[in-house]
Structures are given as C-alpha cells and as structure tokens.
Amino acid sequence: MIQDLANAGALPVLEKSLRFASARQRILVNNIANSDTPDYRPLDLAVEGFQSELRRAIETRDRDAGAMGMGRGSGPDRALEFQRTREIDFLENGTIKARPRTPSGNILYHDRNNRDIERMMQDLAENNLAYRTTVELMRRENDTLRIAITQRP
C-alpha cells in the first residue's frame, strides 16, 4: 500500500527526469572542462529523445491501467516501463548508462575542437533549471502525501 503510493502517479516520472538531468549535467560539465583540449568533440544527450520515450512510457502505463477498468495512473500494473533508447538506459541498480553523441554544427577550431562556449553555458543553465523544476515538483508531491497522512495542511 505504502509502496504503491511511492510508485504511482508522477513520482517515477520525476525520478527518471532527475536521473536524466543528473547524467546530462556530468556530460555538459565535462564539455566545459575540455573546452581547451585538442581533438575533443563536445558530447550531449538529446533531451527530445528522452522526453519522447518518457511520453511513450507514460501513455502506455495509463492506457494499460485504463484497459483494466481502473482510473488513469492506477491499477496493479502501473510500473513505468522506460525502454532503452539509443542514448540512455536506466539500469536496474539505479544507475544510468549513457551513450552521448556528438552534436554536429559548429566550426572546427585549429586544435580540431568544435567548442561553443555560449551553447555550453546555455545547456548548463537549462539543465540546472530542469533539475530544479523536477525537485520542486517532487517536493509538492511529497507535501501532498504528508498532508494526506497527517490530515492537516
């Protein structure tokens, strides 16, 4: 019963987002650290790829629950089945296996590094905001649970 509370609704989705943002942060920070390394090509995880797979997983979960005559986001088989994508794989032990690719586009400098510091900083800020939003949503979710348990806001 308690376990169902933690595994239902938005929490698994938020957890996946948090883990994705965490893995992406590491890659973005690595790009910045290597901004003066010859031959280094910046890497990135595509946010769109993650989001479309997450959307598919949520829709599948809700449809399965609906087919069993239960409400959206409920039912016994409500686990979020996140399929492995070309870039990311959520492992059973809680870690994430990432295979970042090199986004093409910027010019190559003389040291064969196509760095783009503005783009790097923008990605970093965006990722930071996404993480903060996710954590904030998680807090709300926890607050709601606590209100339900203690019966006072």
Residue choice 32, 47, 80, 98 for contact with other proteins (CB under 8 A)? 32
Q: What token pair was written down for 60?
A: 């599948």
Binding to other proteins by CB under 8 A, coded x per residue (else -) over 62-101, reads: ----------------------------------------
Distance, CA of 86 to CA of 69 (rounded, Å)? 34
Under the criterion CB under 8 A, does residue 45 sit at the interface with other proteins?
A: no
- DSSP secondary structure letter of residue 36: T
Under 8 Å CB-to-CB from 27, ≥6 apart: which residues?
Answer: 43, 44, 45, 98, 100
Under the criterion CB under 8 A, does residue 8 sit at the interface with other proteins?
A: no
> DSSP readout, 69-133?
T--TT-SS---------SSEEE-TTS-EEE--B----SPP-TTS----HHHHHHHHHHHHHHHHH
Under the criterion CB under 8 A, does residue 137 sit at the interface with other proteins?
A: no
> At its nearest, how many Å lie between other proteins and the CB of residue 1?
21
- Residue 101 or 146: which CB sits closer to other proteins? 146
Under the criterion CB under 8 A, does residue 149 sit at the interface with other proteins?
A: no
Under the criterion CB under 8 A, does residue 120 sit at the interface with other proteins?
A: yes
Tell which phi-psi region holds residue 69, choosing left (phi > 0), alpha (psi between -120 and 50) or beta.
left
Under the criterion CB under 8 A, does residue 18 sit at the interface with other proteins?
A: yes
Under the criterion CB under 8 A, does residue 124 sit at the interface with other proteins?
A: yes
Residue choice 125, 140, 144, 149 for contact with other proteins (CB under 8 A)? 125
Distance, CA of 138 to CA of 118 (rounded, Å)? 30
**Which of these segments, 5-13, 25-33, 70-78, 80-88, binds other proteins (CB under 8 A)?**
25-33
